[in-house]
Amino acid sequence: MATPARSLADQAYELLEGKLVTLDLPPGAQVSEGQLIDMTGLGRTPVREAIQRLAQQDMFIVLPRKGLVVTPVSRSNMLHILEARKPIERVIIYRASLNAKDDQRSEIAAIARKLTFSHESFLDFLKLDQELNILLDECAANPFATAAVTPLRSHCRRFFYGNSNQIQLSEAITAISKMARLIARRDYLGAQKASDAVMAVLERCVASVGR
C-alpha cells in the first residue's frame, strides 16, 4: 500500500521539529513567523499550523505581537517528561510486539544491530532511535498513543542532543537494542520490562547532566 502524501503542514512541522531538536533553533532564541517561513521554504499557512502544533507541545512560546521564543530546556522538566512517557511507551511496545508483521520484525532486528555501531556518533544514534520509534508506532497502530508520545520524544531528543558532551551513549544503546530484539522475537512481556529499563537509563542520563 502506498504511503499517503504528507501535507505541507506536516512537512513544515517535521522541518521545524528537526531544527528545534538539533538546536538550529536554540533554546531561548526569539524568532518571527517570517523567519520560519524563510527557513522552511513553505507558505504562511502550513508554517502557521506547524507553529501552533509545536506551541501546543511546548516547543515554542508564543508572544502576542512579538513573535516566538524557543522553549528553554530544563532537567526538571525532562524528568517529568520521562515520567509521562514511560506508561505510553509500554502500551506501544506491547502492541508492537504482538502486531508486527514478519517484514517489520526484520526491520526492527536490523535497527537493533545498527544501534550497536552507533556509539561514536550521537547523530547516528538519534536517527536510529527515531527510526525505531516510527516503526514501532506503525506496528502498534494506536494513533492516540502515538499522538501523546511524539512530543515527549521530541523533547527527549532535543535535551540529549544539547547535552551530548555530558552523556554516555553505551548504556542507552545497550538497553534500546535489547528492547528491540525482544520486540522482534514477539516477547511482549520481556519487551515491556526492557522499555521500563530504557526509561530508567534515560532518567539516569538526565540526572547526570550538570553535575
8 Cβ contact list (under 8 Å, min separation 6) = 42, 43, 45, 46
Q: What is the structure's pLDDT at 132? A: 97
Query: What is the architecture, at CATH level 2, of domain 75-208?
Result: Up-down Bundle (1.20)
Mind listing the pLDDT tens digit of every residue in the chain (211 residues)? 334 457 899 999 999 999 999 999 999 999 999 999 999 999 999 999 999 999 999 999 999 888 999 999 888 899 999 999 999 999 999 999 999 999 999 999 999 999 988 876 888 888 999 999 999 999 999 999 999 999 999 999 999 888 888 888 888 899 999 999 999 999 999 999 999 999 999 999 898 886 5
SS3 of residue 20 by DSSP: helix
Strand positions, DSSP E, the chain: 30-31, 60-63, 67-70
Q: Where in the chain is the domain with CATH 1.10.10.10?
A: 8-70
CATH dotted code for 8-70:
1.10.10.10
0.75 cut: is pTM over it? yes
Cα maximum dimension of the chain: 53
Q: Where in the chain is the domain with CATH 1.20.120.530?
A: 75-208
Helix H or strand E segment including 200: helix 188-208
Q: Give the C-alpha separation, 16 to 40, whole Å.
A: 7
Contact 131, 57 (CB under 8 A): no
Q: Give the C-alpha separation, 51 to 60, whole Å.
A: 7
114 Cβ contact list (under 8 Å, min separation 6) = 128
